[in-house]
Structure formats: C-alpha cells, structure tokens
Amino acid sequence: MKKIRVGVMGIASFIMLAGCNVPSQIDININGDKEQSEPSKVQEVKNSAPSSSDTQSVAGNATISKFKTATDSTTITSEALQKKPVKSSYPVKENAIEEDTWYWRITEAQVNLRKEPYIHSQSMAVLERDEELEYLHHKYVDPNDERIWYEVQTWEGKIGWVSSRVIIKSDGRYYSDYADTEEIDYWQVTVNQANLRAEPSISSKSVGIVHNQDYLEFLQDTVLDPSDGRTWYHVETSDGLIGWISSRVVLRG
C-alpha cells in the first residue's frame, strides 16, 4: 500500500510541475486493473446511437420509402385497371313475355332515359312514375352489373334505354295524352280464344269464352291492374254476356 501511495504522489507532483490540470475523469484502479477513461465510454455510447441529424435522415428515408411503396402500389393498381378490358353491353334474345310486350310502365318516382344501355351513360330525359314507353324490342345486357336494358320511345318521340329494374309490362293505354278510348265502340278479339272475366283481374273467374275475330261492345269502363300492368275493358258480347276482357287480347274494332 505504501508503494502505491508514493506512486500516486509522484504522478501528482509531476503534473503540477508540468503546469497541467489533473483530469477529473481519470480513474486509477488501485487493484491493478487496466485503466479506463470515462470519455471513451461516453464516446462509444454516442457512436452507437444515431445523432439527431442521423435520426432525421433515417426517418426521412423511411418516409420516402413508405411513400414510394404506396405510390408504386397505386400505380400498379391503376395499370391493372387500365389493362382490364371494359365489357360493353351486348344484345340478347327476348323471352316469351318480352316478345309479347309492346309497352313498359315506369314504377319509380323518377327514372333516367339513357343514351346507351349502361348505368353511367348520359341521361337524355327524366321519366316520371306511371309514364308509359313504347318498347322497340331491342334488349341488351350490361355484363358489368348484370342489368337488362330495353330500347324504348317516349310518347314525345325520344328514343333511349331504360333499365328493367324500374319498369313493368303495360298495355300502352296511357302511352299518349291523346289516347281516348271513349272514341271506341268495339274491341275485336285477336287470339284463338280468351276468357271474359267477372272482375278486372287475371285471377277473377271466367264468365265465358270469346273467340278470334269476335266483336265486343265497349261499355266505356276501363280499369288498370297495377299488380301486373294489365288494362281491362268492360265489354258485352253479341249474345249479351257482360264481363271484362284484357287489353292484351283485343284491338280496336
């Protein structure tokens, strides 16, 4: 212990004679271990952690990388959409009901008459509920949403397309403002045979059978059945049988 103490005093004397200050952070391990300098430890810590500017740089790089990834992803998606072919509406065959339909009636408050047979086509006019349209017997399907479109004509002469989702079949009784059944005295049967019904409904009981070319006197009473779009005429046969006949099986006599 005495030898160590002398060594320390000798070092202190030497430093004072040299006119230097004793470093406050030098530790002397009196147990004989290797000397270590605290500033070196501090320097190691600083070197191991990024500086403030380094942190900003790393964060900035991460932000740029993230932004680039999102942009690339968006670009890929956009390119994929551009490469995906846009499916156009195409004509399809009518079913039996459509072949037998000459008029459609609007079922919604307001409906667009479209220039082309797809939902995003330009609107040519706004159609109102219960407005009737002449069916031009052109049927298309849009494969993008499975909508069926019919080409129609308004009573004003506008031709366009209407979706099957907003119409029902009609007989065209109210197709134009000038249609007036009061000018009609007789209806003529156009099918082989048809039921004359007790009430203006397809579910009403039959009170008799009428045949092709038969003339039925019109009793000036008309009823529209909204459940199926049928119009019914109150008529009387030449035999004096009175009942209701569907407008779908007769023409003006």
The domain limits of the chain are 2-48, 90-170, 181-252
Distance CA(18)–CA(21), nearest Å, equals 9
Handedness of CA 9, 15, 16, 18 (dihedral sign): positive
Query: Nearest to residue 248, comparing CAs of 204, 215, 208, 202?
Result: 202
Q: How far apart are CA 131 and CA 152, in angstroms?
A: 12
Contacts of 44 (CB under 8 A, 6+ apart): none
| The overall pTM is greater than 0.85 | no
pLDDT tens for the chain, 253 residues long, are: 444 444 545 554 544 544 544 444 444 443 444 434 344 444 434 444 444 433 344 344 444 433 333 333 333 333 333 334 478 999 999 999 999 999 999 988 788 999 999 999 998 888 888 888 999 999 999 999 999 999 999 887 889 999 999 999 988 877 765 344 456 688 999 999 999 999 999 999 999 999 999 999 998 888 877 677 678 889 999 999 999 999 888 887 6
Residue 100 CB-density burial (10 A; 0-12 exposed, 13-18 middle, 19+ buried): exposed
pLDDT of residue 17: 47
Q: CATH number of the domain at 181-252, please?
A: 2.30.30.40
- Looking up tokens 């390119």 gives 79
Return phi, psi of residue 206, to 5°.
-85, 135
What pLDDT does residue 241 have? 95
Alpha carbons 231 and 247: distance in angstroms, whole number: 6
Mark residue 172 as left, alpha or beta (left: phi above 0; alpha: psi -120 to 50; beta: remaining). left
Residues 60-83 as b or e (16 or more Cβ within 10 Å = b): eeeeeeeeeeeeeeeeeeeeeeee
**Which residue carries 């069926």 as its tokens?**
148
End-to-end distance of the chain based on CA atoms, in angstroms?
A: 140
The tokens for 118 are 């797809």
- Say whether 181-252 and 90-170 share the same fold: yes
The closest of 184, 251, 190 to 221, measured between CA atoms, is 184
What pLDDT score does 248 carry?
Answer: 85
Instruction: Check residue 167 and give its pLDDT.
Output: 95
pLDDT of residue 87: 85
Closest CA to 210 of 250, 178, 163: 250
Residue 221 and residue 234: Cα distance in Å, rounded? Answer: 5
At 32, give phi and psi (nearest 5°). Answer: 90, 5
Quote the tokens at residue 91: 């004509």
Q: Note the pLDDT of residue 230.
A: 79
Q: How far is CA 158 from the centre of its chain?
A: 27
CATH of 90-170, one of 1.10.3720.10, 3.40.50.720, 2.30.30.40, 1.20.200.10: 2.30.30.40
What pLDDT score was predicted for residue 197?
96
Question: Are the CB atoms for 237 and 196 separated by under 8 Å?
Answer: yes
